[in-house]
């Protein structure tokens, strides 16, 4: 009887081990966390000459919000992909290549996402984050400015806005 109990306990322990992540997955996750933390620290300590506060206003509807000058094209936008439960962040900027890092966030909550480069009809870079991502939630709940950086380019700063919050809150 004791042997059967010990055998059952060993089987339970071994079953629990089978569900653990591989060392490679853990290392990759730790590297991503370190990169995001470093980016957040850098963004929190950005010198005024490295960032550009863009004058403009938020506009939008239930599914998308855009920020930019009233008489021009949006410089930054966020839209809801309800089927994927993701927010698509887009920054109007021309860059070379097919993909580039996009850093988006508010305050110390910054996330690095791989973004796609689009050249037509207007040049832009678009990246996606889950609506449940902590950075997206922080943007929805914060009155802090929203920051966007493409690659190592200048950091664009836009004020928080009700249309942006509405898109996030209503997505999915």
Residue 145 is predicted with a pLDDT of 94
Determine the average pLDDT of the residues in 51-69.
88
DSSP conformation class of 20? S
Do 115 and 127 touch, CB atoms closer than 8 A?
yes
- Distance between CA 17 and CA 101 in Å, rounded? 35
Instruction: Please give the mean pLDDT across all residues of the chain.
Output: 81
**Residue 40's Cα: distance from chain center in Å?**
12
Q: Could you tell me the pTM of the whole model?
A: 0.71
Q: What is the per-residue pLDDT across 72-83, written as a single tens digit (0 to 9) for each? A: 889 999 999 999
Query: From start to end of the chain, where are the E strands?
Result: 51-53, 57-60, 64-68, 76-81, 86-91, 99-106, 109-118, 124-130, 146-150, 155-158
Q: What is the per-residue pLDDT across 70-128, written as a single tens digit (0 to 9) for each? A: 888 899 999 999 999 999 999 999 999 899 999 999 988 999 999 999 988 889 999 99
């Amino acid at each position: 009887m004791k042997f059967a109990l010990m055998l059952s306990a060993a089987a339970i322990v071994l079953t629990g081990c089978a569900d653990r992540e591989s060392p490679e997955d853990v290392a990759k996750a730790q590297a991503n966390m370190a990169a995001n933390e470093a980016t957040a620290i850098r963004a929190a300590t950005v010198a005024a000459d490295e960032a550009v506060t863009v004058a403009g206003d938020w506009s939008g509807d239930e599914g998308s919000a855009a920020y930019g000058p009233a008489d021009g094209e949006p410089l930054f936008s966020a839209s809801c992909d309800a089927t994927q439960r993701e927010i698509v962040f887009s920054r109007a900027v021309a860059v070379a290549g097919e993909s580039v890092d996009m850093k988006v966030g508010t305050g110390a909550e910054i996330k690095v996402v791989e973004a796609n480069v689009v050249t037509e009809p207007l040049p832009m870079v678009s990246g996606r984050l889950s609506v449940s991502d902590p950075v997206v939630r922080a943007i929805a709940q914060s009155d802090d400015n929203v920051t966007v950086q493409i690659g190592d380019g200048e950091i664009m700063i836009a004020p928080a806005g009700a249309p942006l919050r509405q898109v996030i809150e209503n997505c999915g």
